[in-house]
Amino acid sequence: MRLKHFNIDPGAQIFLACSDTSRLRILHLIMTNGEMCITDLERILEFTQTKTSRHLIYLKNAGILTSRKFNQWMFYQIKDEVFDIMQQIMQFLRRDPVLQKDQQIFHTMYTNRELTLNRLKIKPLGI
């Protein structure tokens, strides 16, 4: 279900959540890659576990993110209801050098993970 009407209260929550550079970096990675594991976010952004968790909880409480647990990993994705507005916001930021560097690091990590999985002949977790 997508937002049909953008009211002031959810809009204010989204804009407040997007007022922090760290949260924007997290949101960009999740928007670009569909779903992200908290440990991958920590490595890419070079954040501590505490800082990453704090920002993810803020984004979840703002109604932007949802999560699912798989074994010991927690995966985060953008809620369907706010996907369109987040996509529009991220479109303005997509050429930012910091965000591009984050995505490049993710791509390198993902490629190395795929190579390792192929060597071990193990299927990926669905990321």
Domain layout of the chain by residue ranges: 8-120
The amino acid that residue 28 corresponds to is H
List all residues 6 or more positions away from 63 whose beta carbon is below 8 Å from its beta carbon.
Answer: 10, 13, 14, 79, 81, 82
DSSP assignment, residue 95? T
Helix (H, G, I), strand (E, B) or coil at 62: coil
Helices (H) and strands (E) in the chain, counts: 6, 3
Across the chain, the runs of DSSP E, i.e. the strands, are: 36-37, 65-70, 73-78
Closest C-alpha among 98, 66, 94 to residue 82: 66
Element (H or E) spanning 34, and its range? Answer: none
Pairing of strands 65-70, 36-37: unpaired
Q: In a structure prediction context, what are the per-residue pLDDT tens digits for the chain, which is 127 residues long?
A: 455 566 777 778 888 899 999 999 999 999 999 899 998 999 999 999 999 999 999 999 999 999 999 888 889 999 998 999 899 999 999 899 999 999 998 888 888 776 666 665 655 555 5
What topology is assigned to 8-120 in CATH?
A: Arc Repressor Mutant, subunit A (1.10.10)
pTM: 0.82
Q: Residue 60 has what pLDDT?
A: 95
